[in-house]
Structure 1
C-alpha cells in the first residue's frame, strides 16, 4: 500500500519537482494564444512549476495544498527547513515535505483545524489567498488592501480569510469572475496558479 501511495505522490511531484521542458511551447495542451501561456512560459523557465508529463502541463487540473507549498517554497529559493513539520499526515518522503516544513516554520502554513495539513486536499481560492498573503509578508513585499464589498458573494468569504483575500485582490493576484463573484470556496487550477505566480514574481500593488 505504501509503495502505491509513494508512486502516486511521485506522479504528483512531477508537477512541481521533476525537470521537464521549460517552455509552454513544449506542452501540447498549452495553446500559444492561451491567456495563461506566457505565465506558463515564465514559471516553467524559472523551475517553479513544471509539466505533469514531459509533454503536458494540465492547465485545468485542480491544485492541491501540497502543490501550493511546493511552488511557494521554490519561489523562495527552496530554503532548507530547520526541522520536519509537525503535521502527522506529512511524511518525510512526500515530495512537498520540505516545503511544508519550511512553510510552517515561517508562518505560511498553519494546517487544518484537526492538526493535519491536508496536502492532498484541493486548495480553495480563499485558502490560496491566505497562503499568498502570508508569503508576501514573509518576502517583505508591500501588502495591499483590496475592496471586497464590490463582489456579489463577499459574505461567503470566511472571516479568517478576509485579510488574505483583500490582499490578493488588491495586489491583483486573484481577480473576480465575469459575474462579479470571488468564489472563495471554488478550486484553483494549474493555469490560474501559473498566472498568480507570474504576478507574484513581479508584484505591483494597486
Structure 2
C-alpha cells in the first residue's frame, strides 16, 4: 500500500513536470521581422521657415550636401528604411535610422501611443558658426503600442544648423503597416457600434475632463459652452437644420485677442473667425487653449450656435444641454457620451450631417497612407470634407482620422465650412 502510494505520487509529480515543460515550450514567443516604410517629420503646418512644407528627418538630403546626400531640402518621404519586429503576442518594435546631418534631432519623447526605448547619439559637433551642439540622435528603437500607423511625439528638440536655434516642434512618425502581419489580439475591432437610432455610430472616445469657456458678453445671451465636435448618427434623411448664420470670411465682431494665439500661428485667422462670430469662446478671458482636445458636447454646442440657437425644450443643466437636444432632434447626434473626446473623423461626420449628408465622388482619400483607418461610417463624410477643403492631412500623407481634434483644428474646420456656404 505504501509503495503504491509513493509510486502514484512520483508519477503525478513527473506528469506535472512534463506538462510544465511542454507548456513552457508551447508558450515560447516567436518573432517576425519586416522591412517597412517609416518617416519622421515636422508637419508642414508647424514649419515656420517653409510654411506648408513637411520636412523629413528620415531623409538625409540637406542644403549643404553633407554626408553624401543631395544638396536639397529633405521634403520627400523615404521608403523601406526601417525594421519592424512583431512578436506572437502582438508587441511591435521599430528600429529607425535618423540620417539628416543638418536638421539634427536632439530629443524625442512624449507620445501617447508609442514609447522610445532606446536612442543612440553620436559625438560629432554640429555647428551653425555661432551655436553648436555636441552629438545628435542617429538611431531610435520605438515600441509601437497600437497599429494606427501614426505616432505624434510632443516632447522634441531639433537643431537645424543652418538656423542655429533649437526648435521644439512636435514630430510625426508615419509607419506603413499595410504589409505587416499583426496577431489578432493587436488588430483593431471591426464591429461597428450601433446607436439608439439603429444607425452605425462612431467609436466611443476616452472621456475628457469637462471644460468650460468664458463667454463674451452679448446683447442676446447664447448657451455657454466650449465648441468642438461630436458625431454619432448617420441619418438616412437630410437633417431639417437650415443654418441661419450668414457665411462670412471675416468676424462679425472684433475678434478677441488671446495671449496664447500669436499672429504667425497657422490657426490665428480661424480663432479670430470663431471668436468674432461667437461660435467658440476662450477657456478664460485671455486664453483660447488651441492645443487642448475637444469633446462631443463642445461640437453640438457650436453647431447649435451656427444654426442661430433656436428655442428647444431640453432636460439637464449641462452647458451643452440645449445643443444636445437640438442635435438629437435633427439626427446629427444620438446625444450620448457628450464629455468624451471627439476625433477628426467624428468632427467631419457631424459637419457632414449638419450639411445634409450629401455623397460626393472623390478619390482624394486614396492619397493618404492611413485612409484604411477611416471608419466605415465616416468614409462619405471624409471624402466630402476633403473635396470641400474643410479638412487637410496632418502631414502630406496622413489624415490621422482617429486622432482627437484640437480646439485649433475645430476652429479651422468650422471657418472653412462657413466659407464654402
Q: How many residues align?
A: 178
Is residue 276 of structure 2 the alignment partner of residue 52 of structure 1?
A: no
Return 5+ residue gaps in structure 2 as ranges.
Answer: 1-208, 216-222, 226-252
Counterpart of 2:259 in structure 1 is 28
In the alignment, the residues of structure 1 paired with residue 308 and residue 402 of structure 2 have an alpha-carbon distance, to the nearest angstrom, of 29
Higher helix share: 1
C-alpha separation in 1, matches of 2:334 and 2:337: 11
Tell me the distance in 2 between the aligned counterparts of 1:39 and 1:12. 20
Distance 1:182 1:39 in 2: 20
In terms of fraction of residues, the more strand-rich structure is 2
Spell out the pairing of 1:120-131 with structure 2 (5 A cutoff).
120-131=339-350
- Superposed CA deviations along residues 36-64 of structure 1, whole A, max 9, x for unmatched, are 11111111011101100000000001010
The one-character-per-residue Cα deviations of 1:139-171 (angstroms, maximum 9, x if unpaired) are xxx764442111101111111111111111111
- Return the offset for 1:197: 1.0
Partner of 1:99: 323
* Greater relative contact order structure (CA < 8 Å, 6+ sep): 1
For residues 145 and 68 of structure 1, the distance between their equivalents in structure 2, rounded to whole angstroms, comes to 26
| Larger-Rg structure | 2
Which consecutive segments of 4 or more residues in structure 1 shift more than 3 A? Answer: 13-16, 142-146
Listed one character per residue, the Cα deviations across residues 68-104 of structure 1 (whole Å, up to 9, x for unaligned) are 11111111111122x43xxxxxx61000011011011
TM, length-normalised to structure 2: 0.40
Are residue 171 (structure 1) and residue 388 (structure 2) matched? yes
Name the structure 2 match of 1:114.
none
Q: Is the 8 A contact 1:39 1:194 kept in 2?
A: yes
Q: CA deviation at 1:179?
A: 4.3
Give secondary structure in 2 for the equivalent of 1:121.
coil
Structure 1 residues 1-206: aligned runs within 5 Å: 12-14=212-214, 17=224, 23-24=255-256, 26-81=257-312, 83-84=313-314, 92-111=316-335, 117-137=336-356, 144-147=360-363, 148-203=365-420
Distance 1:191 1:109, change over 3 A: same
